[in-house]
Structure 1
Amino acid sequence: MLAPDSPSIWWPWGITAAGILAGAGLGAAGWARGRGTGGEGGQQTRLDGEELQAYVDLMPIGVLTIDRQGGLVLCNRTAPSLLGIPREELQEVTWRSPAFAIIDASGDGLETEDLPWNKALSTGFRVSGVMVGIEREDTGDWAWLSVTAQPRCDASGAMVEVICTLEDVTQQKTAEVELTLQHLRDNLTSLPNRALFMERLSRAILRSDRRKFYAAILFLDLDRFKVVNDSLSHEAGDKLLIQVASRLRGCLRPEDTVARLGGDEFAVLFEDITSVNDGLLVADRISQGLATPFNINGEEVFTTCSMGIAISSSAETLPAELLRDAEVAMYRAKAKGEGSIEIFDPSMNAKALARFQMEGELRRALERGEFVLHYQPVVGLDTGRIEGFEALVRWIHPERGMVPPLEFISLAEETGLIVPLGTWVLEEACRQAGAWSRAFPADPPRLMNVNISARQFQHKDLIETVLDALRAARMDPGTLKLEITESIMMRDPLASLEAMKTFKSHNIHLVIDDFGTGYSSLSYLKRFPVDTLKVDKSFVDGLGKDPESTAIVAAIISLARSLGMRVTAEGIETMDQMVHLQKLACDQGQGYHFSRPLSREKAEELLGQDPRW
């Protein structure tokens, strides 16, 4: 029996009875006429327990009476149907701290002290119209209820219970949610967008400080996503993002939030962690979840992601700053290599600021024409004569002077600025090579080597860009050498093979740069239409000193010979190194032993001298 043990309940007139009657659409005056003991003078109306139960059972709204200990004193027939919980089970619920999930209007979990009936019990004041969501036990759907909680005191004025009315607003809330989703959800993946993520992050930071746990952000950026867009299509890229979003959901707890911030960037918010190790476990789970290839239009597509982790330290943590910290850590991870994870530490902020400033200066440098090319001679080791040059970009900063390439090339690659910069290098090198071929003719013609970055090589317009530069410079395609590193080619060997075949069809020479430092498959190497292998400086340094280096260089030269390729050794700094390479029948060399990279004017002087080494 859910009614009280006593045969009757004393209701202070005008407090709870009036609220319930108003919710039922009757009114206090009508009830007073029915029971007849008046209310103007503060008199009380005595209701029989069974009569009260019968009355509240007629109400179209749910009614619950909860005592100070959280026990259920009374409920009507409507309440179980609204909550999706059988009447007998409701009596077993500890309402002070119910076991089932209860959320607020924004979808966040409600703390026990914020539940309407607990607030009314703790403050002694009426709590009106609080919207809560309760997961129905029978269907698993969310029931949305507008809850009003009214404390009830006994004749002596002591609070004994709280009477709650539950009004079903599910239909109204569902309509609101549908409208809200249009503004707070990503249209492509249906994940929360940045606005919703920041709102939930703000709440999480406050909750974590109260609970003495941490909230953390995991910032994710897909590696080589641009390759999918450029090589397969933007539609394929969208399909990949949808599948990635689905896998991310599968790696997380229901209470965690994963959002798409834009492009190929995602963020995960997780709460109640005790240390950074918990965050690393989530990151590792995500890495494993993305390891299986994605099926995009019948093609197997592999992707990894770079991740940065930042953890809130207190309630004073600003959400925007925490997200920024996680993004800074992600960029640090990306710089370390694909699939890396980095934990934010405060020292990264200074580096991030310097990086941001450098990026702005780099963009302006392109607009202002602050870049120049220097040219390092490539020398034939059998003739000792200049057979070509390698074009190397230099940045003449208006305040700092010459900025070393190591300080800006990797940043240009990360930001995508390497594509317009690489186009400028290609056009300027071709223009200079064309001018020199006419001013300093040679037989055979000297070649111009131009380095192609990873982003350039993946860019769909690269072939047309190269051909346009050759046409504008009136340069023979057979005098251009494109240098591509071994690691770039092996990222997507099949796509690389097709691009290289196209270049070869125009008689453009191809060089594998830094050969021996990466991993390449010999089965692919024999299929690549490569003209030259370039031996990395690290092997040349050990010639005559390190038997292993000498053996590696000899093996590379032998391999090139068997495949019909030439060999260029870079980083030659001593006569002894040059002699060793001549004995090994290496074709070409470059390095400080011959010349440092030279300005255009100095290179022209050298060409006029036609030196022999």
Structure 2
Amino acid sequence: MWSCMVTHPPTGAVPAALPPNEDERLAVLRSLCIMDTPSEPAFDQLTAMAVKIFAVPIALISLVDKDRQFFKSVQGTPIRETPRDLSFCAHSLLTEGETIIPDARLDPRFATNPFVVEEPYVRFYASSPIITPNGIRLGSFCIIDREPRTLNERETELLRHLASAASYLIDQRTTALQLEQAKQQIDLASERYRLATSATSDGIWDWDLRSGQIYLSARCSALLGYGGQERITSLRGCYRHIHRGDRKRIHEEIAHALHGQQNFSCEFRYLHGDGEWRWVECSGLLLSGAAGEPQRMVGALSDRNRIRAMDPLTHLHNRASFIDRIQSRIDKSSSEDEMYAVIYVDIDHFKRINDSLGHAEGDIVLLEIAARIRKSLADRPHSCAARLSSDEFAILLAHAPGEEDIAAYVQRLQEMLQAPVMSREQTLFLSASIGIATADALVRDAQSMLENADLAMYHAKNSGRSAHVAFAPHMREDAAKRVQLELDLRRALERDEIVLYYQPKVALRSGQVIGFEALVRWKHPDGEMISPAEFIPVAEETGLIRDLGMLTLRQAIRQAEQWRRDGILTDEMNVAVNISGRQIGDKGLVGFIRDQLQESGLPPHSLRLEVTESLLINSDTTTGEFFREIKALGIGIDMDDFGTGYSSLSYLHRFPFDALKVDRSFVQRIDQTEESLSLPRSIVALGKALGMRVLAEGIENMEQLTQLIRIECGYGQGYLFSKPVPAEEVPEMMRHLDSKMRTELMAS
């Protein structure tokens, strides 16, 4: 297909005129370093989506060079370039907006084009321009069919969105290349610096075996912390300062070297001149005389204390070293009247970055975070920072004038961490949850102080993230309550205290109930109804989510079958159950669902599973296998909270969804302005293009309902129709809803 590669147009081909800014356009195109590059998944996802959405055999991302057009991504043909003289896309450079050719045989520009009269027999062509942020047209995103057709307004808009996405990817790719080049320059400069300083970074020593005298270079003495007041000139003098636990090992290493092993290397603790134990590494080489007798041993001494105390990625303190620094500050504070604080920093949703962009990109982000934390301490010489785990950092803020100074520092730190981070892939926007524990006369150990800051951070995260919270004594009580909540939840699962409430899903125009969402509730023995927001996170953290999920599925399936027998649940209706990522990781879940359906007699199509986009961000091959097995059973799958994640479109391409549920945050912002409808309208259009139902969550008033109907959203749920109710109240709720909706719809 498209194998015709000629340098001059054959008879009948009509080349496109050159754009007025052709020289500038070509210069910009070549500066992007994108021509003749291999295909990339991000671009291929767009063209694959276009083939599916528009039901066409061919989709291209075309970049028009001086004498040819190059396809950065192509679906439906193996050809990666064609002559510019035969290019449809070259004509698109001259038009504003989209180019739509319903039938190329009827267009005099293309009627005799070889690609029209021969393979691949192009009849229909439509494109939208790919434009740089500066307005330079690089080419077009185009779709091709072998049959005449046209595009409606919604399809034209979707094509425009795909072209915009391709333009964005090209811009991000260019930024990533620039960052990579900058990184290479930095790496080269760092290597030159390392080579320049390696010769002087270690201390040098020389031991004369005949006289017993030891010479230490100035750098060596400085590493050990001994200057002019005390000079170490003998092995006995060295041994006095070596930790007792290390002396035997060093003696054995030296003995081995003196008896034929020509060199040795050993790490040990040395009493520094400041009174603290420091780790050093000593390496030596035995020098022998002409007769082979040992004469001297020479070597180097290097500081290992910093390496042993640092995080290998960020070069901040590690946990053990940081706790030592806190303890040292606590001990000194008994004699110094000073304010200090431990600040615990957790980067919100960092796991998403690692999972979606890879650990290499995640490391770039962590290095940038560490650099910003260092910068925040630039004017605080006695303070220090540590990396405690993958995405958790801590800061010891010393010599603070007061609590106001600590609060001001934390506020500035949070602002610094929220600034955009440029990775190789894209621009990232981060936030952090921060906990603060200030000096307390009652807290005399470092571990307790760090735990207090950690508890405060946990409260900041639970308050909505991107927040900072100071430790208060009640937080330890809250932590104890959380442990108790776990114990109570275990008992609740055994005692059938977990129940399901049901909220109807409604066809918006008719008010007809099309199904229910099963929502889990915990009725505590003391009569209190405990919110899922309290116990679901505990279940996730402790692994109880597996038992909770199975109980929920079992109850929902049995209740759905009972309603089906009672005539409440018709064949067109279903009951939806939410599932979590931990449940999907359970290899026995599909078999459990199959068994429950068979035991109850419920048809598979009467059950639906809802998954959130956050679950998909953390997905792996297990997720895809689970979806395929569930679909094979005949069970529908809905994407919940659609539009709140990173890569919704790619998930629609990868996973077999039946419906999209518009996140309630978009619905709650709906008012009488067109702007408030832009996102819901786009989701509705996308759902229709992909043949999926679209359901809006959180509908609370008639204004929202009216606007959703206006943008042709078919389905919804929310308090406007009914709050979640127990199973026994569903029949009455449906009668009330039927009457209410008839009244409301007639009034509207």
- Correspondence list, 1:308-457, <5 A: 308-314=435-441, 317-336=444-463, 342-344=469-471, 355=482, 357-381=484-508, 384-409=511-536, 412=539, 417-418=544-545, 420-440=547-567, 444-452=571-579, 456-457=580-581
Q: Per the alignment, do residues 439 and 272 of structure 1 end up closer, same or farther by CA in structure 2, a change over 3 Å counting?
A: same
Report deviation, 1:133: 1.6
Determine helix, strand or coil for the equivalent of 1:90.
coil
Give the conservation status (yes or no) of the 8 Å contact 1:80–1:90: no
Q: Distance in 2 between matches of 1:499 and 1:92?
A: 71
Cross-structure match for 1:206 = 331
Whether the 8 Å contact between 1:244 and 1:290 is mirrored in structure 2 is no
Q: Which moved more, 1:219-228 or 1:587-596?
A: 219-228
Contact 2:613 2:640 in 1 (8 A): yes
Q: Distance in 2 between matches of 1:322 and 1:405?
A: 31
Q: Deviations over 1:47-88 (max 9, x none)?
A: xxxxxxxxxxx99799xxxxxxxxxxxxxx9998984699x9
Alpha-carbon distance, 1:485 to partner = 3.6
What corresponds to 1:465 in structure 2? 589
Work out whether 1:90 is the aligned partner of 2:214. no
Computed over aligned residues only, the root mean square deviation of the Cα atoms, in angstroms, reads 6.1
- Asked if residue 478 in structure 1 is aligned to residue 608 in structure 2, the reply is no
CA contact (8 A) 1:218 1:283 kept: no
Residues 539 and 546 (structure 1 numbering): CA distance in 2 closer, same or farther, change over 3 Å?
farther
Change in Cα spacing, 1:582 to 1:308, as seen in structure 2 (3 Å) is closer
SS of 2:329's equivalent? helix
Which of 341, 346, 349 is residue 216 of structure 1 equivalent to? 341
Query: Conserved in 2, the CA contact under 8 Å of 1:376 and 1:597?
Result: yes
Partner Cα separation in structure 1 for residue 465 and residue 677 of structure 2 = 32
For residues 622 and 468 of structure 2, the distance between their equivalents in structure 1, rounded to whole angstroms, comes to 28
- Asked whether 1:132 is paired with 2:243, we answer no
List per-residue Cα deviations over 1:350-399 (Å, max 9, x = no partner): 65565555455444433443210011222334554432111011111122
Change (3 A) 1:464 1:287: farther
Supply the distance in 1 between the matched residues of 2:412 and 2:271 (Cα, whole angstroms).
Answer: 30
Give deviations 1:542-581, integer Å, cap 9, x for gaps.
7785555466555543332222121223344566765665
- SS of 1:564's partner is coil
User: Structure 1 CA distance, aligned partners of 2:435 and 2:242?
Assistant: 30
Question: Aligned pair in 2 of structure 1 residues 210, 591: CA closer, same or farther (>3 Å)?
Answer: same
Q: What amino acid sits opposite 1:448 in the alignment?
A: V
Deviation at 1:326, TM superposition (A): 0.4
Any idea what the Cα deviations from partners look like across 1:250-309, whole Å, max 9, x if unmatched? 9769987777878986655564555426964996799699968799xxxxx999875433
Distance in 1, Cα, partners of 2:413 & 2:230: 40
**Deviations for 1:189-208, whole angstroms, at most 9, x for unmatched residues?**
99999777656533321214
SS of the residue aligned with 1:324? helix
8 A Cα contact 1:437 1:446, kept in partner: no
Aligned 8 A contact 2:457 2:468 in 1: yes
Contact (CA 8 Å) 1:217, 1:326: kept in 2 or not?
A: yes
Q: Report deviation, 1:458.
A: 5.9
Q: Deviations over 1:583-605 (max 9, x none)?
A: 65443333344433221222366
Specify the code of the residue in structure 2 equivalent to 1:524.
S
Which blocks of at least 5 consecutive residues in structure 1 are unaligned? 1-57, 63-76, 94-102, 107-130, 145-173, 296-300
Distance 2:372 2:664 in 1: 46
Paired amino acid for 1:478 = H
From the superposition, tell whether residues 568 and 407 of structure 1 become closer, same or farther in structure 2 (CA, over 3 Å): same
Q: Is the 8 A contact 2:431 2:465 kept in 1?
A: yes
CA gap 1:60/1:367 in 2 versus in 1, 3 angstroms: farther
Instruction: State whether residues 134 and 143 of structure 1, in contact with CA within 8 Å, keep that contact through their aligned partners in structure 2.
Output: no
| 1:510 corresponding residue in structure 2 | 637
**Conserved? CA contact 1:483–1:513, under 8 Å:** yes
How many residues matched? 463
Taking the aligned partners of 1:368 and 1:230, their CA distance within structure 2 comes to 38
Q: 1:470 to 1:340 in 2, by over 3 A?
A: farther
The CA distance in 2 between the partners of 1:255 and 1:143, in whole Å, is: 26
Deviation at 1:450, TM superposition (A): 1.5
**Partner SS, residue 499 of structure 2:** strand
Preserved contact between residue 667 and residue 697 of structure 2 (Cα < 8 Å): yes
Distance in 2 (CA, whole Å) between partners of 1:540 and 1:246 is 36
Counterpart position of 2:692: 565
Q: Could you tell me which of 641, 650, 669 is aligned with 1:524?
A: 650
Taking a change above 3 Å as real, the CA distance of residues 221 and 290 of structure 1, as seen in their structure-2 partners, is: farther
Deviations 1:496-519 (A, max 9, x none): 778656654554323233445x25
Alignment CA distance shift 1:279-1:60 (3 Å): farther
Residues 150-194 of structure 1 deviation map (CA, whole Å, 9 limit, x = unaligned) = xxxxxxxxxxxxxxxxxxxxxxxx9xx9xxx9xx99999999997
2:581 corresponds to which letter in structure 1? F
CA contact (8 A) 2:414 2:432 kept: no
The one-character-per-residue Cα deviations of 1:207-243 (angstroms, maximum 9, x if unpaired) are 145344444334355766878999999xx99xx99x9
Maintained 8 Å contact 2:661/2:694: yes
Shift of 1:483: 2.4
Q: Provide the C-alpha distance between the structure 1 equivalents of 2:212 and 2:563, rounded to a whole number of angstroms.
A: 93
Q: Distance in 2 between matches of 1:473 and 1:352?
A: 40
Q: Kindly indicate whether residue 716 of structure 2 is the aligned counterpart of residue 589 of structure 1.
A: yes
- Secondary structure of the 2:335 match is helix
Distance in 2 between the 1:386 and 1:336 partners? 35
Higher gyration radius (CA):
1
Distance 1:193 1:523, change over 3 A: closer
Task: Give the alignment's TM-score, normalised by structure 1.
Answer: 0.55
Which blocks of at least 5 consecutive residues in structure 2 are unaligned?
A: 1-209, 232-240, 245-269, 283-302, 743-748
Give SS of 2:450's match: helix
